[in-house]
Amino acid sequence: MTNSLTDSDAHELLSSGFIFGLRSGRTVIGWGEFKKSQTPEGACSVYAPDFYLEDPKPWLIPPKFAVVDREFFATHVLPKLTTEVKDFRWIEPAREAFTCQFEKIRKAFETEGLEKAVPVVHATSQVRVTQSEIGRILGAMSRLPQTLTAYGFWNVSASSERPEGLLGATPEYLFSVDGWELKTMALAGTRSKTESREGGSALLADPKERKEHQLVIDDISRVLSKFG
């Protein structure tokens, strides 16, 4: 583990890296050419499976990593990442794509006993994600409120045949441990931007949202029950 980044480290971070926020407010960052593995290895490993959990080697092992606080990330890392960026031109998904997903899910509810599903459609952009865009996204993530935790990985190096990555932020956390007490937090529910301004009372009053959240609670309880 290192406590500082050289200019060379910063360049590698833009090409291939990961970011993972901790409950303590600190952030784990890793960079360099990842090794892929079936199982975690060494002092730092990142679980980055594909959407369908079919990748036989879902663990990424970075050659370098550091645990830094938000101030360090903003003042010592991001200044090294300042580069020119291009605008993305997004193409929103067609309504028909969502309708198709919805109909498949509806049939699964009726015939397969499905309890919960999320229809997925994608906006697209015909732009190769470069180091510049990664730097811009990391800059935005460094300014997130304390209630949100950053996460993600990326590989956009020039030698990569298939650039890929995932970056985001969430109020959820996998777990925190205090002595013998383990806590986790997950959210479920759907609200438009307008509805979200109504606050939590609207969610609590909605039977559909309450049921959806209860499904998440039940699943977490089932998974954790084997630990006592």
> How confident is the model at residue 4, as a pLDDT?
64
Q: Which residues of the chain have pLDDT under 50?
A: none
Domain boundaries, the chain: 7-86+127-170, 90-124, 186-228
Backbone Cα Rg of the chain: 20
> How confident is the model at residue 41, as a pLDDT?
92
> How confident is the model at residue 23, as a pLDDT?
78
Structure tokens at 30: 């890793």
Structure tokens at 37: 């593995």
Q: Give CA–CA dist 37/56, Å, rounded.
A: 8
pTM score over 0.85? no
